[in-house]
């Protein structure tokens, strides 16, 4: 739909690392990855901190940025999509190399690691893992902003706790249908009575363990998350339901529970990186179920 515009800008960018700054008519030099990261540091509303998992996973801080892709997870498919859109700086919320901190020591002889790294190198990509600082964005977690925007839940955000949404009265079944339709979720899973009356929903997008999940369940009728371990928070929710507590847990899958948080990230970046195209590239959810098999695994945008 908007592909032509972006491709044209990408093509200009690729042709020479010089950009027309919108509105000025003057050529602005391409920012480097370092420039973009420095601007980001000043825009999260919170102090930038060391430690955690946010870092340049591959590529270089000195690389000139032709265009920026924001993605939920830097899957191979997401990287191919970024290359197809001529976006050489990939900002990903989840890992590139299959573990939270992108540990690669144990992968040095791994054929897929080598293939993915070679692909990144051949296409001059730089990948930045933006997890902790995006969740730490003030006044509201960036993932939460994007997800509530996707769900149309901004009017319902609780004044005291921005993870809580006071929805118009509904049922668990209707809430789940809403998630299924809005997010295109074919593999969500639910624990709880389908007829449960729902008013308050607490969202912990992404992974959620017993802590903080157990206290969250005290605060609302439904806790919605991306994923949890079956013997941990999910077992707790099962026991709650067995004890006839009017509570439910909705598991959207990790990717679908967070990825529109990276759409918001693209919008945020556009406000302070005007020189280059910035685009959110949604990825496919990893799974299908036997009732709804999916034969096409590539992201099509």
Partner 1 sequence: MADSKPAPARPSFAPRHTGPLTALQVIQLVLDKVGAGYRPATIDHVSAGDPLTPVTGIAVTPIASLAVLRQAAGAGQNLVITYDPGFWSSSDNLDGMEGNDLFLLKRDVIRDHHLIVFNLHDHWRDRVPDGLTQGMAQALGWAMAKEGGVFEIARTPLLVLARSLAGRFGDRTIRVVGDPRLPVRRVALALGNAAQMPTIALLNGPADMVLAGYCREWEAVEYVQDMVASGSKKAMILLGEIVSAAPGMKACAEWLKTVTEIPVAYVEAAPGYWS
Residues facing residue 89 across a β-bridge:
68, 126
Nearer to partner 1, 63 or 176 (CB): 176
Interaction residues for partner 1, span 273-292 (CB under 8 A): 286-290
Q: Please tell me whether residue 95 adopts helix, strand or coil conformation.
A: coil
- CB of 301: closest distance to partner 1 in angstroms? 15
Instruction: Single out the segment in contact with partner 1 by CB under 8 A; choices: 16-24, 160-168, 226-234, 260-268.
Output: 226-234
**E-assigned strand segments in 81-218:** 89-94, 126-129, 164-171, 189-191, 197-207
Interaction residues for partner 1, span 133-192 (CB under 8 A): 187-191
38 touching partner 1, by CB under 8 A: no
297 half-sphere exposure, CB direction, 13 A CA radius: 7
Decide the pairing of beta strands 126-129 and 89-94: parallel
Residue window 204-223: x/- pattern of binding to partner 1, with contact defined by CB under 8 A: ---x-xxx--xx--------
195 touching partner 1, by CB under 8 A: no
Q: How many Cβ atoms are within 10 Å of 111's Cβ, its own excluded?
A: 8
| 58 and 96 Cβ atoms separated by less than 8 Å | yes
Closest Cα to residue 54, out of 158, 153, 107, 130? 130
Residue window 231-250: x/- pattern of binding to partner 1, with contact defined by CB under 8 A: xxxxxxxxxxxxx-x-----
Instruction: Single out the segment in contact with partner 1 by CB under 8 A; choices: 25-33, 56-64, 95-103, 196-204.
Output: 95-103
> How open is the CA angle 268-270-271, to the nearest 5 degrees?
70
Choosing from 45, 121, 155, 194, the residue that interacts with partner 1 (CB under 8 A) is: 194
User: Given the rule CB under 8 A, which residues bind partner 1?
Assistant: 73, 75-77, 80, 94-95, 98-100, 106, 110-112, 115-116, 119, 187-191, 194, 207, 209-211, 214-215, 226-227, 229-243, 245, 253-255, 286-290, 293-295, 297-298
């Amino acid at each position: 739909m908007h592909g032509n515009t972006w491709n044209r800008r990408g093509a200009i960018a690729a042709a020479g690392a010089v950009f027309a700054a919108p509105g000025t008519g003057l050529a602005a030099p391409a920012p480097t990855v370092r420039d973009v990261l420095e601007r980001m540091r000043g825009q999260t509303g919170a102090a930038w901190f060391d430690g955690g998992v946010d870092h340049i996973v591959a590529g270089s801080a000195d690389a000139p940025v032709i265009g920026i892709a924001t993605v939920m997870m830097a899957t191979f498919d997401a990287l191919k999509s970024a290359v197809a859109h001529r976006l050489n700086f990939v900002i990903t919320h989840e890992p590139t190399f299959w573990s939270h901190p992108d540990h690669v020591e144990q992968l040095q002889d791994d054929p897929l690691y080598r293939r993915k790294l070679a692909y990144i190198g051949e296409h001059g990509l730089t990948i930045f893992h933006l997890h902790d600082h995006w969740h730490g964005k003030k006044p509201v977690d960036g993932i939460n902003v994007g997800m509530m925007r996707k769900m149309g839940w901004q009017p319902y955000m609780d004044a005291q706790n921005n993870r809580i949404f006071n929805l118009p009265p509904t049922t668990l079944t209707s809430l789940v249908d809403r998630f299924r339709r809005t997010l295109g979720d074919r593999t969500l899973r639910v624990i709880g009575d389908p007829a449960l009356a729902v008013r308050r929903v607490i969202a912990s997008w992404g992974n959620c363990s017993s802590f903080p999940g157990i206290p969250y369940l005290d605060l609302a009728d439904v806790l919605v998350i991306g994923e949890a371990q079956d013997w941990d928070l999910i077992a707790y929710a099962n026991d709650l339901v067995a004890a006839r507590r009017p509570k439910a847990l909705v598991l959207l899958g990790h990717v679908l529970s967070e990825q529109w948080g990276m759409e918001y990230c693209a919008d945020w970046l556009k406000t302070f990186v005007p020189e280059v195209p910035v685009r959110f590239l949604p990825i496919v959810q990893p799974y299908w179920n036997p009732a709804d098999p999916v034969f096409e695994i590539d992201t099509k945008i």
